[in-house]
Chains A and B, each alone.
Chain A
């Protein structure tokens, strides 16, 4: 099972230079118990250094919620979503994209 690869398709959009968003697919080696974030880390480190996802200050425990994206169309945390096959990753809002999966967060509720 672990020698298989999966296809990870990522929404790509860089508002200052791209006219339209597009989707890009990557082949990622599959490991049992990997998260969507593990898959993106693999892409970033080995395949494409330009892919953007919230990573500069993530907690990895599901408490900061900043890595929320649409995973196969459903909201989820990149860091806690255990994946079992091909996935599609899109930003939570396509209107507030800073870059790829990173979106501008509106004023937040005071915790």
Chain B
């Protein structure tokens, strides 16, 4: 079938906050900018569903007229991000985050962002409000957009991006994009796991296609699981409502035996690890441990209840975030009844954020000329554990990536690819439509998602990772090439989309599982039962995955240090966690 041909200067891939902000910045240069949104405009990706907090140093926040702690400063904020990341951070990217966070918030306020409340070093807004503000601004800036359009692969000639192959999901028509620069802003790859906390579109194609095009990816083993994610009833599986409720109302986690299992841990670690955003790594670790040791709930989680908090206090706090027991459009009145009668709900860790991704420098350039990346899809500033806001991340990085890509595109001499150059990419994409009696994508996807949740969760070991890698390698070697769909009709073919996405999620899971197996230590959100120590003598290194003749080769290299020298020595994981918590500056708040 004939493909549509679209020419632009900068192609932005991703319809969340990083992509929108990059498109706005790229338009400052008055070149042509086209943004691809895989789903509904301003309502897909992770940003619209975010809480959403925006972190910056407290004194800058104070100067903007909010609560903010005036005794906070950029050095303290920098220190805290690096210690929260167990020193695995790229410190140049931490500096970029800290330095740009105040300006990005200032302009958002000028553009009409509403602030719900503020604390020592953060403001709270909603992801929907943020996306609406960015959408208005992007339209005003004159960027073009395409909805329900998925990018499949990049076209690279002589080490330079010259175009990309896209798919109109509704019609099944291919689109040949001719462009000078591409900005990947495709976010995480939650869809590789089940259950997950993400929207249904996040399948990591940006990271996978950048890797196929020659860019490096790294720190893929660092995958943050959100704790207290609802596992039941089915309608709410994956919702973070209880996670939020626990932070603002308090409450209590118990295991199958009714034991308040957090009491087993160091009181300081529990205090910091439940009252601040350290809870994602600490509570996920502790909950998963209960499940592995046979004290979990039937659905593989633990139980949440109101504990010692009186119902009056609990409900009063809950009403701040869940007015009339509504969260977004979820009606939580049944949950309210259950908690009021001292009932308990099943919750557990589920995948939430990806600390690793495409390797970029501080200009957000990849190693492929003309290819830029920003937001959750990059190996970003957070090292092995993120506590501070990913909303700040997408805005500071999107802006710089957009500006730099536009500057490059304005000068680049990019050859115009002919249609024949797209043929090999189209052939790969069409393949699942042509076969008969092969492997069906949906059951394979679910099988792999459930294994990913089990073996790439907060607690890992050599045996589990190795068996998962065997399954993934087999999928990559045989099953992916025999995926077939039940119907060859191109328009809105769910199985075809699944097949196209599976190629990417399997690729990223292989990279992550192999990196997790190589990292013979425990650090941040990566805990190895068989290597329960943080090894600062050998492992203050970032993992890098290279694609060599179709094989994934994991290596490592020293991290990028500017001012803070990493510690030395071998420490038990929980002692290292406590040391990192205690290294925090004297600024209060949840971050």
Contact = CB atoms under 8 A, between A and B. Distances in A.
A59 B489 CA distance: 26
A31 B233 CA distance: 9
Nearest to A31: B234
Interface string A13-35: 01011000000000000011111
A2 to B, nearest CB: 11
Nearest to B41: A108
Nearest to A33: B233
Contact of B497 (A32, A34, A56, A64): A56
A60 B237 CA distance: 10
Contacts of A52: 492-494
B497 A61 contact: no
Contact of B139 (A48, A66, A82, A110): A110
B392 interface: no
Interface centre among A14, A52, A57, by most chain B C-beta atoms within 10 angstroms, is: A57
A31 B133 CA distance: 40
A34 B236 CA distance: 9
A16 B136 CA distance: 36
Contacts of A64: 39-40, 43-44, 48, 199
Contact of B495 (A50, A58, A77, A79): A50
Contacts of A79: 235
A60 B169 contact: no
B41 to A, nearest CB: 7
B132 interface: yes
A16 B491 contact: yes
Interface in B123-168: 128, 131-132, 135-136, 139, 148, 150
Nearest to B232: A33
A55 interface: yes
Contacts of B247: none
B47 to A, nearest CB: 11
Given A61-B49, A66-B40, A80 B200 contact: no
Contact of A111 (B132, B238, B487): B132
B246 to A, nearest CB: 19
Interface residues of B, number: 49
Nearest to B446: A45
B39 A49 contact: no
B486 interface: yes
B234 A59 contact: no
A57 B238 contact: no
A70 B132 CA distance: 27
A95 interface: no
A61 to B, nearest CB: 5
B44 A57 contact: yes
B494 A44 contact: yes
Interface size class of A (residues with CB under 8 A): 35 or more
A49 B199 contact: no
A45 B443 contact: yes
A49 B485 contact: yes
A88 interface: no
Contacts of A66: 39-40, 43
B401 to A, nearest CB: 22
A16 B43 CA distance: 29
A52 B486 CA distance: 12
Contacts of A32: 233
A71 interface: no
B170 A104 contact: yes
B489 A61 contact: no
B328 A34 contact: no
A56 B128 contact: no
A92 interface: no
B521 interface: no
Contact of A56 (B135, B169, B330, B446): B169
Nearest to A104: B170
Interface string B229-252: 000111110110000000000000
8 contacts: A16-B489, A17-B489, A34-B235, A35-B234, A45-B442, A50-B495, A60-B200, A64-B48
Given A57-B148, A58-B201, A80-B330, 6 more contacts: A33-B235, A38-B235, A49-B487, A61-B328, A79-B235, A98-B491
The 6 A-B residue pairs with the shortest CB-CB distance in the complex, in nearest-first order: A57-B39, A33-B233, A62-B329, A57-B201, A64-B43, A35-B235
Interface of A: 14, 16-17, 31-35, 38, 44-46, 48-53, 55-66, 77, 79-80, 82, 98-100, 102, 104-105, 108, 110-111
